[in-house]
Every structure is written in C-alpha cells, then in structure tokens.
Structure 1
C-alpha cells in the first residue's frame, strides 16, 4: 500500500506529457544569384586546383610521423567550389598488417562509416573528396593506390584526388604535399582491364601518363599561425623569472648547426630503393619475355595445324573426297592471353620518382659541400 502511494506521488510530481508538435514541411531557399556560378550542383565545372587547410596539413604530418613505415593513409573531407577542391578536414584510417584479409577490409569500412556519421552529427564536413597517402622517397606508384583512386574516380564527384605526403622531405624540414589523379587514358584502359602492348600504344600510355598532377596551395588561418608563433618563441624557465640576468642569457636563441648538415642522410637508402626497383623491373621483364615466347610457340603450333589441315583438304578435294571439317583451334591449343604490363609501368614510375628524389637530395648536398670547401680556403 505504501509502495503504491509512493509511485502515485512520483507520477503526480512528473510534468504532464505534452502533445508532440506537428513536424513542419522542409523549406528550401534558392541559391543567390551571386553564388549560382560558384556552387557546382551538376558537377560541370572542371577541377583546376586543390586548396589544403593548414590544420589538415598538421594532422597528416602528425599521422605520418606516428604511423609505422609508409602506412599512413586516410580520407580527405571538404567540398568542390568554383573549380577548386577545398580540403577542410581529414581523419586517418586504421592500418592492418594483412590488408587483403576480409575481416580487415570490413573493419576499415565500419570505422570509416562510423567516423562519417559522427562528423555529420556534429555538423562537420562529411563529404569525402579523396584520400591521402604518406610515402617515403617517392614510392607512391603502387597497385593499391591505383585501385583505390580508380574506385574514387568512379564514385566521387569530379573523381576525387590523392594527396601524397613525402615523409623523407618532412624529416629534412621541407613539408612536401602533392595532389594527383588518374588520367583519362589510363582510367579507360583500367576499366577495360587491358594493359597489353596494343592497348598501351592505342592509349599512348607510359609511366608518366598514369597520374596527372593538380596544382595545390595551402591556406593558413589565424589559429594555426598563432600556434606556430608560440613554437618559434624562446621560452623562459621559471628560475629565470626571478633573476633578470638569467632571463637575459636564457632568452637568447641557441646556435643552430643545421647549416652544417649536408642533407645526404637519405642518399644510401635512396640508392638501395633504386637498385631494388631495378631488380624488380628486370624480373618483371623476364617474366613478360617468357610469357611472350610461350604465346609465340603456341601460336606457331596453331598456325602449323591450320596450314596442315588446309593442305589435307586441298589434296582431298583434288582426289574427289569431301574436305575435313574445320576445328576450333582455341580448343586444341591453349594460347595464353597477352600479359598485363601495368606492373612494369608502375615500376618504371617508381624508378623515376626515386631518381628525382635522389637528384634533389644529391644536388643540395653538392652545393653545401662546395660551399664548405670554399669557406675552408682550399
């Protein structure tokens, strides 16, 4: 009885339920005339440049520094406005040791969907416009990058972009960011899954025609500028605040010996990568040559069989006999399909990227070495 009266008292103290308001019909405002030419609803304005927010730059650099090796990759968020991809946000994707595992792929997809829903709930940019990839010494020519970008160019507005961040350049104090997308000729051959010699000639494909670079610029804001200014200011220890003499000496900028660094620390590793890529290319070319010889042997057998059958039919007709029926040569002889040369193209692109990185590193080191030699007076 007491429990019943207590429940009744609690129920009476609660506010009376109110009728749910009738939801109003959504209203849409017309796009202002001044913005009609800027907002590309039908995706008709071609993309000519990429604008990267400074906060995105810092997030990518931080992720690439913390990720093991060159496994840093993630999604880019933003919008396309008046022919420019404006990248306003990004988030990293988890890395798994075995990317081909179905469980790994599904877990990455779930994580990506969860992040996009969370960003949408807080009214942040949740439109995917591409992805970024951290790499070292120009090794971004690989099958995974091509496959991912091919999917993006098929499903995203304007095809999406790839932001490539060179970790080795950042380690030397030069933040390197470049934007790429697949060319139309390469994408057409990729959709047909045909990278034979004839297809490469028809599409005029070389390793330099796989990706096309898009001009990229970085937009800074007041928050990032303030943060960078605090990093450049000299800090005063607490002990020096009570002693002006210590404050004067401690506030002085310490000497920098960065000028003595020739910047050739990555040269041995770069040479190793070039040799490794050349060995892989030689192996791939050997495999292609073996397959070509095998195809030529099978075709020669098929042609010899067809020629022999024609001679037999000619002799039978001359003797007044019925010719033998023609047989399907493809069923009698297993002629292998022409091998794909995509891996060779990617290896050539990787060798070219390694060579350009080595040229940049070596040229800087040579200039510093000549300067150091001149200063010694020898």
Structure 2
C-alpha cells in the first residue's frame, strides 16, 4: 500500500516552468486562515459526520480488519478539516506488483473524478481499521512517512477500532509520526549502538530516545455534524404512535431505528480473543528478540576476529621494523571479515506497541465487563 500511495501522491514535475500568473494580495483579515506557506502547525483534526459514516460502513463491509482508504480535506487556521474520504481496494497480497499498480490506478481515477465534479481532492492522510486497538505495523509506518514527506502539513492517520464500535462506542483517533522518529526513519537507523565507531551513523534509538510510545503522537480529534442531520436522527429515534388499529401495548409506539441493546452486553466474549492476541504478540516479540540476539552474537564474533587480526598485524610490523624490514601493508579488514550490519530494532518496537495496545484494550474491556457483571448480579438479587 505504501508503494501505491507514493505513486499516486503528487510529485514535482520535470517539465519547464510556465510563466507564473499574478495574483492579488491576500487581505490581512484572511492571511492567518489561508495558510499558504504551511506556517501554522496543526492542533486539531475535524472529521465530518459523512466521513465517520463512510469509515464505519467500509470497516463493517470489508472482508478483513485491514480496511483502509484516503482522507480528503483542507487545513485552515491550525485545524485539519476532513470533509470526504474513499476506500481503497482490498488485495490479499498488498506487496504484489499488480496489486500495487491497481491501487495506484484506482486512487488516480478517484481523485480525477472528484476534481471533475469540483469536490475536495486534496489528500490530507488516510484511515485504517483495526481490532482491539492494535494498529502498529510496518506498512502503516511506511505509508504515514510517505504522507508526511509529500503532503503540505504532513499526513495523519485516523484509526478506527472495530471492536469498540461493536460494543456501541465509535472509536476514532488521529495520529502522526513524531519528529524524532522521522529523523531516524529517514536515516534508516534503528540500532542501539552507542559508539559511532561500531556503526556508520552515531544516530540511534538511544540518541533519539525512541520507544514504542514515542513513534506516534496523538492529535485532538472532534466530529462535526450538520444540525439538520442531527435533527433528522432525532426524529428517527423518537417514538411515534403506531398506525395499526389492533396494536398491542408493546407495539403502540414504534421508531424508525430499532433500539440497540449493546450497552447491556457484558462484553465477556472478546476477552478470550484479546488474551489470545496478547499471547501471539508476546511469542512474536520473543522470536524477534531471539533473531536480534543471534545477529548481535554473530557481529561480536566477527568483530573479535577482525580486532585479533589487526592486533596481530601490528605486532608483526613492530617486529619487522625492529629487524630493519619494511612493514607489511595495511589491508581492508571489511573485505577479509564480513561483519553483518547492526540489526534493525523497528520491528521489536512495533511488536511492543501491539502488546501495549492489546493490554490496554484488555484492561478497558475487563473493567467495564466487571462493573456490568456486578450490576447484573445486584439486579438479579444474587
């Protein structure tokens, strides 16, 4: 998906520059609102009610929990107003070259169609559906990094939790990558080496103080609803007298929207699945840490061989100089000993983020379910 977004997002043109048209100066009263130079930092994300319903509908109808799409809108006076969105096609293998090209064509076609009908066609980010609050992944980080490099104010990601929506709570959160993580990501340096002699770059996770909790920063999010739409929803939920002449007392009043009893659900069904997800994430983290430990030991062995070779060569040269002979030429140690590169710790950070998200989801679900169970027990007189 990251490759497809990179292909579809606007890129600088190599064509010769055309003469620039002359525009009138922006009035002083609008200079702050119309932020052409992107000098006003984003402070709030505002979702339109239509965008919220589109995301929920797409997430429910998607064949898996990997529903994602693009967000369209405009930033005004520090507020990123998301006014529209459209889903991206789902493919089993997102890394397949044909799938990437198909997604890129779909994006270009949708943006072109929106522009033809004079709708918002400015990409400001993307949305991602998730379950149990765990959305940390390499694909999400790569896609978000592409957006923050190419878009004016830097792209954002809206995370929608399906498990919360199933319990009657629409969960939407807005995130973007932190400046420290972007600096390390551009240099592709996610090792923990402190000494710059042991690695090509002295920048590392320790120097950037990066942990799984400092990869993303959350932005305040609010939902804007149309007053007319709110009034219409109010009429749908309001009970009206039934037109049936022989209606029973239970059918005397009816509503267009059937009542939801999600609040009465004790919520114990998802606890087992949540525990399974935690165990799987912990096993994946242990496997990753085992691979990293093996690479570190291999690097230490190869580096020890290189150090011993250098020390032995120095002793031989000192002995030859003492005998009046010319010293042996210095050889490139990197050609004689293949020292592996420092292991990448980004995958470990993302797995820790998943474990933390699963644990928080389990804590929220368990606390709510426990309170409901005590309430049900008290109401039943047990």
Is this a same-fold pair by TM over 0.5?
Answer: yes
1-structure distance, mates of 2:155, 2:105 = 21
2-structure distance, mates of 1:94, 1:235 = 42
What are the Cα deviations for residues 304-357 of structure 1, in whole angstroms up to 9, with x where unaligned?
A: 111111111111122222211111111100000101000000000010011111
Equivalent residue, structure 2, for 1:212: 217
Shift in CA distance, 256/39, structure 1 to aligned 2, threshold 3 Å: closer
Shift in CA distance, 85/319, structure 1 to aligned 2, threshold 3 Å: same
Shift in CA distance, 223/91, structure 1 to aligned 2, threshold 3 Å: farther
Confirm whether residue 172 of structure 1 aligns to residue 167 of structure 2.
Answer: yes
Shift in CA distance, 206/105, structure 1 to aligned 2, threshold 3 Å: same
Alignment check: 8 A CA contact 1:55 1:224 kept: no
Shift in Å, 1:373: 2.9
Deviates more, 1:225-234 or 1:330-339: 225-234
| Structure possessing the higher radius of gyration over alpha carbons | 1
Confirm whether residue 317 of structure 1 aligns to residue 321 of structure 2.
Answer: yes
Shift in CA distance, 252/152, structure 1 to aligned 2, threshold 3 Å: closer
Q: Aligned ranges for residues 185-334 of structure 1 at < 5 Å?
A: 185-198=180-193, 199-234=204-239, 241=243, 243=245, 245-246=247-248, 249-251=251-253, 258-334=262-338
TM-score by length of 1: 0.88
Shift in Å, 1:35: 1.6
Shift in Å, 1:139: 1.9
Confirm whether residue 371 of structure 1 aligns to residue 357 of structure 2.
Answer: no
Q: Secondary structure at the match of 1:159?
A: coil
What are the Cα deviations for residues 251-290 of structure 1, in whole angstroms up to 9, with x where unaligned?
A: 1678875454211221111111110000000000000000
Alignment check: 8 A CA contact 2:48 2:83 kept: yes
2-structure distance, mates of 1:223, 1:28 = 37
Q: Provide the aligned C-alpha RMSD in A.
A: 2.1
Q: Which runs of 5+ in 2 are unaligned?
A: 1-20, 194-203
2-structure distance, mates of 1:105, 1:364 = 42
Alignment check: 8 A CA contact 2:49 2:225 kept: yes
TM-score by length of 2: 0.87
Equivalent residue, structure 2, for 1:183: 178
1-structure distance, mates of 2:263, 2:314 = 80
What are the Cα deviations for residues 77-108 of structure 1, in whole angstroms up to 9, with x where unaligned?
A: 00000001000000101111111111111111
Q: Aligned ranges for residues 82-93 of structure 1 at < 5 Å?
A: 82-93=77-88
